[in-house]
């Protein structure tokens, strides 16, 4: 009995070993396939499709062209507004210069008349009161014309900063004309500075608009498809013309 069991054991061991060996080989092969397969798939995913890459590139170019076109339109509008602003400020500076030139001419005329002796008037309280009324009236009129500021008018009415109502009206007119001239000069200088600043702003806006316009043109050219290359036409072989009615005749001999 023991010999029979030993015999079956010895005959079954090689078969079991062969089966286990086959199972192990299959398991290792399947494991190798599973390990190597994701790498192949990942490598395939990493390779970009040329058609999709070209489409994405063209979509990015189109989006950039649209953004640059919007920016260029905004820059052109800004440049137009700043140019209009500069023209308006330029007109203001020219009007300020004309007003200053008129005040300068009036001050020169009055300065020339100052060389003449002042008319003699009696130094009475009524005369001084009349001179004060004249000064106040002239100062109020200059203030309403915009030639004197509220602070300057207050100085005249309070007799401060060199305003003396006891002077002769001819002398007061000269002082008033010089004050008006100085005020208009200051207004013209301020307007000229505003004009220069507006011109600089307009130039900067125009440069930005020109740069964006050129960038817009370049972006639009990049989006447009390139023209297909022309195929060279085949050289034509000249065909001899045949005259109607002409027939081929054999040459006569003799």
**Is 197 inside a domain boundary?**
yes
Q: Give the residue carrying structure tokens 């800004």.
A: 78
Res 218: pLDDT: 86
Give pLDDT, residue 246: 41
The residue with tokens 């398991």 is 27
Residue 100: its pLDDT value, please?
A: 94
- Answer whether residue 176 is part of any domain: yes
Query: What DSSP character marks residue 116?
Result: S
Between CA 63 and CA 68 the distance in angstroms is 9
- On whether residue 10 sits in a domain, the answer given is no
Our count of domains for the chain comes to 1
In-domain check, residue 47: no
Report yes or no on 18 lying in a domain: no
Whether the model clears a pTM of 0.95, i.e. scores above it, the answer is: no
Residue 60 lies inside a defined structural domain of this protein = yes
DSSP structure class, residue 249: -
Task: For residue 181, report the phi and psi dihedrals to the nearest 5 degrees.
Answer: -60, -45
Are 147 and 176 in contact by the 8 Å Cβ rule? The answer is no
* Interaxial angle between packed helices 169-223 and 125-145, expressed in degrees from 0 to 180 and rounded to the nearest 10: 10
Q: Which domain holds residue 63?
A: 52-119+168-223
Length of the chain: 254
Q: Is residue 172 part of a domain?
A: yes
Q: Is 203 among the domain residues?
A: yes
| Cα angle 54-55-61, degrees, rounded to a multiple of 5 | 90
- What the block records as the tokens of 91 is 């007109």
Rounded CA Rg of the chain: 52
- Tell me if 79 sits within 8 A of 206, measured CB to CB: yes
* Residue 209 host element (H or E): helix 169-223
Sole residue written with tokens 């022309």? 230
Render each residue's pLDDT in the chain as its tens digit; 254 residues.
555 544 554 465 566 666 656 666 666 666 665 555 554 444 445 555 666 777 777 777 778 888 888 988 999 999 999 999 999 999 999 999 999 999 999 988 887 765 556 666 667 888 889 989 999 999 999 999 988 899 999 999 998 888 888 888 888 999 999 999 999 999 999 999 999 999 999 999 999 999 988 888 888 887 776 665 555 444 444 444 444 444 434 434 33
């Amino acid at each position: 009995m023991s010999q029979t069991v030993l015999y079956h054991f010895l005959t079954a061991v090689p078969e079991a070993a062969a089966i286990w060996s086959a199972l192990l080989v299959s398991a290792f092969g399947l494991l190798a396939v599973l390990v190597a397969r994701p790498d192949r798939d990942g490598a395939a995913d990493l390779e970009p499709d040329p058609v999709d890459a070209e489409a994405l590139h063209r979509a990015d170019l189109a989006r950039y062209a649209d953004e640059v076109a919007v920016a260029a339109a905004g820059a052109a509008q800004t440049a137009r507004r700043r140019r209009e602003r500069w023209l308006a400020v330029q007109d203001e500076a020219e009007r300020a210069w004309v007003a200053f030139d008129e005040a300068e001419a009036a001050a020169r005329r009055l300065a020339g008349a100052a060389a003449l002796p002042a008319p003699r008037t009696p130094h009475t309280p009524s005369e001084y009161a009349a001179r004060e009324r004249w000064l106040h009236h002239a100062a109020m009129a200059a203030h309403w014309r915009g030639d004197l500021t509220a602070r300057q008018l207050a100085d005249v009415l309070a007799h401060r900063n060199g305003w003396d109502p006891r002077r002769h009206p001819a002398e007061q007119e000269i002082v008033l004309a010089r004050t008006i001239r100085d005020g208009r000069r200051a207004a013209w200088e301020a307007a000229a500075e505003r004009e220069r600043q507006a011109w600089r702003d307009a130039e900067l806006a125009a440069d930005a608009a020109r740069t964006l316009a050129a960038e817009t043109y370049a972006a639009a050219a990049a989006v447009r498809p390139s023209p297909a290359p022309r195929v060279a036409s085949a050289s034509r072989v000249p065909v001899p013309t045949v005259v109607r009615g002409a027939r081929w005749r054999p040459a006569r001999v003799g």
